[in-house]
Amino acid sequence: MKFQATLLSLALCLCSSIAFGQIVDKKNLIEKNASLEKVADGFGFTEGPAVTRLGDVYFSDQPNNKIFKWSFFTNKTELFKENAGRSNGMFVDKDGKIIACADEKNQIWRIDEDGSHEVIIESFQGKKLNGPNDLFITPSGTMYVTDPLYKRDYWTREAVSEQGGEHLYLVSADRLQIFKVDENLVKPNGIVGTYDGKTLYVADIEANKTYKYDIIEDGFLTNRQLFTERGSDGMTIDVKGNLYLTGDKGVWIYNRKGEEIGHIPVPEKWTANVVFAGPDRKTLFITASEAVYKIRMKVHGTY
């Protein structure tokens, strides 16, 4: 019986390993002997990780309409804000404010450290946005926002685009002007840019593609190129220019040329987003369905 039990245990472990998969790290980006660690679970669906100057992370539990804060030094997760506007993608700006895609009412919010908020964008040319999903802010303050249309069960309006499509927007650094900068996307979603503010990456999740743009002096985009034949829900970037994409089987890592160089499997139904955390920006923090995870890296992130 003991031998049979051992065989059964081995078989179960093997099946679990096959189902979960092994980490692939072709360029030694992950710290030696590091493994994926679950930080916290019990959420509805986690999204929008945004790192603070000190390396802590805010993230949202969108179905439960809450924002949580994870502390790097204590490894504890605490409730930060209820009634969070169904926040999705978020970014901490240079003033320490959380800028959140609050798609409950198709808005973008600025949230203070005490949890109070103000609406900074709620329409374009007098018409509702579809439902801001994710955003990126350059060092100069220019903001880019993806605006796909996902029908939400908490909406009281019709799930029809008043904008006539699903677009990518530019918001000026003073937040007074907003422009469409790409109207030729099926469903724009994940977004990130380089730290020098010269390059932007945007995932068209429904077309299963990720594009690369040059950012010119006035913030407008030029030279759109296909980066890789993979879409993404959320994404981040490291100091070497490697791009980290998310989806149904964890996190994929691509080099500057768009070549796949790594894969971090995550044992959840969906991996939504990712950010580099910690004061050294060497902890990869991952939001995935009902839980959040972390793994230590050799390479630094840029935000």
Residue 247 belongs to a domain: yes
The reported pLDDT for the residue numbered 165 is 96
Residue 126 belongs to a domain: yes
The reported pLDDT for the residue numbered 146 is 98
Query: 3-state DSSP: the chain helix, strand, coil percent, rounded to 5?
Result: 5, 45, 50
Nearest to 218 by CA among 192, 202, 197: 197
Contacts of 163 (CB under 8 A, 6+ apart): 124, 127, 128, 129, 130, 147
Residue 44 belongs to a domain: yes
Residue 14 belongs to a domain: no
How do beta strands 250-254 and 273-277 pair?
A: unpaired
Q: Where residue 202 sits, what CATH number does that domain have? A: 2.120.10.30
Residue recorded with tokens 């949580």:
68
Backbone angles phi, psi at 231, to 5 degrees: -85, -175
The reported pLDDT for the residue numbered 12 is 33
The reported pLDDT for the residue numbered 7 is 33
Query: What DSSP line would sit under 12-38, residue for residue?
Result: HHHHHHHHH---EETT--BPTT---EE
Cα 149 from Cα 88, distance rounded (Å) = 13
Per residue, the 3-state secondary structure of 101-165, as one string, reads EECCCCEEEEECCCCCEEEEECCECCECCCCCCEEEECCCCCEEEEECCCCCCCCCCCCCCCCCC
Per-residue pLDDT for the chain (303 aa), expressed as one digit of tens each? 333 333 333 333 333 333 468 999 999 999 999 999 999 999 999 999 999 999 999 999 999 999 999 999 999 999 999 999 999 999 999 999 999 999 999 999 999 999 999 999 999 999 999 999 999 999 999 999 999 999 888 888 888 899 999 999 999 999 999 999 999 999 999 999 999 999 999 999 999 999 999 999 889 999 999 999 999 999 999 999 999 999 998 999 999 999 999 999 999 999 999 999 999 999 999 999 999 999 999 999 988
**Number of domains, the chain:** 1
Residue 15 belongs to a domain: no
Q: How many CB atoms lie within 10 A of CB 151?
A: 9
Report helix, strand or coil for 228: strand
Residue 17 belongs to a domain: no
State which residues form the domain around 102: 23-296
The reported pLDDT for the residue numbered 159 is 82
Per-residue exposure over 259-270, b if at least 16 CB sit within 10 Å of its own CB, e if not = eebbbbbbbbeb
Q: In what order do the strands lie in the sheet with 143-147?
A: 134-137, 143-147, 167-171, 178-182
Residue 16 belongs to a domain: no
Residue 218 belongs to a domain: yes
